[in-house]
Structure 1
Amino acid sequence: MNTLLSIETRNAVLLTMAQFLGEERKEIININTKDLEAYKGDDISMLDRLKVDNAKVDEMIAAAKHLASQKDPVGVERFSFKHDNGMQVYNKTASFGTVLIIYESRPDVTVEAAGIAFKSGNKILLKGGKESLNSNLKIVELWHKALKQHNASTNWVEYLQFNRTETQTFLEKPTQKVDLIVPRGGEKLIAFVKKHATCPVIISGRGNNFVYVHKDADTKMALDIIINGKSKISACNAVDKVLIDKNLPNRIEFVNKLMSQLKDLNIEVLKAKNFSSDEIWYEEFLDYKILIGEISSNEDAIAKINKYSGGHSSVIITKNNEVAKTFMENVDTAAVYHNASTRFTDGGQLGLGGELAISTDKLHQRGPIGLQHLVTNKWYVHGDGQIRS
């Protein structure tokens, strides 16, 4: 087990990492271009997540710098109690130990997620997808360089260059202690990890997010929010389903405007009435598709979302605050919105500075997993000889 590094050392490593990312910007982009050229799949959302350009490098640098500026999440007092016998009891945050992150196609995860795990005092095991191998290895090389510069062991950040069989073997019989696994990717990856893992797993679940346009909606606002929700089809916070209240004034006009704008963006509009099965309602598209259906009430919208959504994000668009309150209290998703886009379900956008993943579990953390969530806790009890009678 690695001895916890001082907060000064952890911050210094992060700032040096930010510096190296800037200095090696061209090399990172060039190596990533090779990964892009080598990708032979037809998954457009994976290709989108795989790409690293100047803007993406800027985001990586900003993430490392921001993490360095945040307070130490380790050793934070959550509870204190003075026992009748004089013992002083504290509950404080503590690192998990070793965190394994399994992810697909996103080289920026190798910076942001690893940075969050490292800042919170954890050793990180990174298992990226084969499609981003060259990009990931380059970024891990910079992590090791930054760690060495501050006399810290390079095994704080370790890359597991495993194929699927080797990954399964490691999950079932780890060759080192693993305290937590966080899979980031599609449903197949998550199911694979859940099936084989022998330690706790935080599920970074699917999106399949809904927007409900209530009868008292501002329709201009509704158009903007739906279009924005579809602005990045590869994101887990993208909108896939739109429910339109059948009592919405000028409903036909609104639907025609919406379909026209979506068509201009080359987004295929699917109509619920054209599907005999309800399987389409469960599906996360990660594609230029959106499904539009009709609903008769707030209660029906809540029921439909709770049945079919991935438990990620949902929106109500309405001028009626009471209706919004009922919707937000009863929809069972990690994030609920009133008159705002699902695209804000993101650690940086919700004030966390970044995220390891977005959890659709209810334990240990729900929604974006930020720096302050990648810790467990332990009890510190100070006595002077007390025994229990």
Structure 2
Amino acid sequence: MNEALIQIGQQAKTAAYQLSLLDTVTKNRILTLFAEALIDHTDDILAANQKDLQNADQMPAKFSDRLKLTEQRVADMAAGLRQVATLPDPIGNIDKGWQNDAGLMIEKKRVALGVIAMIFEARPNVTVDASALTFKSGNAVILRGGKEALNSNLALTNILRTVLKQNGLDQNAIQILHDTSHETANELMHLNQFVDVLIPRGGAGLIQAVVKNATVPVIETGAGNCHVYVDKAAEAQMAVDIIVNAKVQRPSVCNAAEKLLIHQDVAEKLLPPIAKALSDHGVELRGDDRSRQIVATIKPAVEADWSTEYNDLIMAVKVVDDEQAAIEHINRYSTGHSEVIISDDYQSGQEFLNQIDSACVYVNASTRFTDGFEFGFGAEIGISTQKLHARGPMGLAELTTTKYIIRGNGQIRK
């Protein structure tokens, strides 16, 4: 095992103990100082990010968009920090309390997980989001970002660590690995002695590699093969607006829509204007035979299209017989992230909500709202598509566990 990594783990464990003792007022004050420091050092952050962009000049546009920082994106990160400071602190909350037959007073109390490790790709905002949420929830964090964003991530973590040090706190509450090699990432996946949970955040390949190889407990965050189903009772303009927003606003992120299903009864009427609106925004459409008979410019889809997360201006289209066919298709090919039905029929909406097995299911709204900030969590550590411990956007509560506090007055078990 890498000695440097073991030291990082030991430092994180020590810092996590200090964090567990911090009061909410102190944590909120530090989060506000984090935000101020980011704004004060915006030029330094953008200069570091520019180095990353220059090094990654051959990167496809869908990935460089994730990597790029602007003055507004730095301001957004700072806003996220301030919002986390306003959120209720889950640490110390009592979920429930009772007295058992022996007279013991039992309480179920919220506590931090301890040390959280994160492996993520070229998205510097994850560095700040993860640091904010882990700090507020009393956890130390070990960050391993992609090599493409190394300069940006180092600049951001150095700013946050400096704030901690200046305020008499252990700066090792936030650590980032300078070594971005696969070997070090693999060793981090096996750092059971120090890491309590590992959260991968990125594409399907990264997530599956972590899930298959890690011995540290993993919370699986999701690739987003997200669907929009246009029901026969859909309102035309609403359908166009939602689909364009879900696909086009930011196509490189996991909550962008990748698939469009449309009821056969309205396909001839609604698919042409939907396809035109998407085409006007540069979206390439790939469809089944029925959709191509309606819109000639749609390219033929292959089987792999139905399970692919494009993260690009590409969308696959399928005409379905009815709502049940749409539900069956989605449950077969979805990654369990976010799905939408567009319909003015209440019963159709309810059936969709009840039968779709995904973390977030919408009626008449864009998939782009699957986001910790939009859900009121301030920021998010990731969007979990698994079912144990956490599901959907993970905020502060999902970064805690529980322990039982038991008070007696001399009881012994008979």
Same fold (TM over 0.5): yes
Residues 58-207 of structure 1 mapped to structure 2, 5 A cutoff = 58-162=75-179, 163-172=181-190, 174=191, 177-207=194-224
> Hey, what does 2:6 align to over in structure 1?
none
Please say if residues 245 and 297 of structure 1, whose CA atoms lie closer than 8 Å, have aligned partners that are also in contact.
yes
Identity of aligned residues (%): 38
Please say if residues 99 and 123 of structure 1, whose CA atoms lie closer than 8 Å, have aligned partners that are also in contact.
yes
Tell me, yes or no, if structure 1 residue 257 matches structure 2 residue 282: no
Tell me, yes or no, if structure 1 residue 6 matches structure 2 residue 23: yes
Q: Distance in 2 between matches of 1:349 and 1:72?
A: 19
Residue 182 to residue 388, structure 1, CA distance change in 2 (3 Å): same
How far has the Cα of 1:43 moved from its partner? Answer: 3.0
> Hey, what does 1:28 align to over in structure 2?
45
Aligned length, in residue pairs = 386
**TM-score, normalised on structure 2?**
0.91
Q: Distance in 2 between matches of 1:258 and 1:185?
A: 29
The Cα offsets for residues 329-376 of structure 1, whole Å up to 9 and x where unpaired, read as 000111001011000000111122221100001111110001121101
5+ long unaligned stretches in structure 2:
1-12, 290-298
Residues 199-238 of structure 1 mapped to structure 2, 5 A cutoff = 199-230=216-247, 231-238=249-256
Q: Distance in 2 between matches of 1:123 and 1:179?
A: 10
How far has the Cα of 1:77 moved from its partner? Answer: 0.7
Please say if residues 301 and 316 of structure 2, whose CA atoms lie closer than 8 Å, have aligned partners that are also in contact.
no
Please say if residues 198 and 217 of structure 2, whose CA atoms lie closer than 8 Å, have aligned partners that are also in contact.
yes
Q: Distance in 2 between matches of 1:12 and 1:41?
A: 41
Tell me, yes or no, if structure 1 residue 354 matches structure 2 residue 379: yes
The 3-state SS of whatever aligns with 1:203 is coil
The Cα offsets for residues 165-223 of structure 1, whole Å up to 9 and x where unpaired, read as 12112323x28510001100011111121122112111111111111100111011000
Tell me, yes or no, if structure 1 residue 301 matches structure 2 residue 326: yes
Q: Distance in 2 between matches of 1:23 and 1:351?
A: 26
Q: 2:288 aligns with which of 268, 272, 288?
A: 272
Please say if residues 314 and 337 of structure 1, whose CA atoms lie closer than 8 Å, have aligned partners that are also in contact.
yes
Q: Distance in 2 between matches of 1:20 and 1:370?
A: 23
Q: Distance in 1 between matches of 2:50 and 2:263?
A: 46
Letter in 2 for 1:263: S
Q: Distance in 2 between matches of 1:276 and 1:53?
A: 36
The 3-state SS of whatever aligns with 1:121 is coil
Letter in 2 for 1:260: K
Q: Distance in 2 between matches of 1:65 and 1:176?
A: 33
The Cα offsets for residues 232-256 of structure 1, whole Å up to 9 and x where unpaired, read as 11110101111110011xx324222
Q: Distance in 2 between matches of 1:109 and 1:205?
A: 15
The RMSD of aligned alpha carbons is 1.3
Please say if residues 96 and 180 of structure 1, whose CA atoms lie closer than 8 Å, have aligned partners that are also in contact.
yes
Please say if residues 90 and 381 of structure 1, whose CA atoms lie closer than 8 Å, have aligned partners that are also in contact.
yes
Please say if residues 49 and 234 of structure 1, whose CA atoms lie closer than 8 Å, have aligned partners that are also in contact.
yes
Q: Distance in 1 between matches of 2:192 and 2:256?
A: 37
Q: 2:56 aligns with which of 19, 23, 39?
A: 39
The 3-state SS of whatever aligns with 1:13 is helix
5+ long unaligned stretches in structure 1:
none
**TM-score, normalised on structure 1?**
0.96
Q: Distance in 2 between matches of 1:310 and 1:161?
A: 32
> Hey, what does 2:265 align to over in structure 1?
247
Q: Distance in 2 between matches of 1:157 and 1:370?
A: 18
Letter in 2 for 1:234: S
Please say if residues 9 and 150 of structure 1, whose CA atoms lie closer than 8 Å, have aligned partners that are also in contact.
no
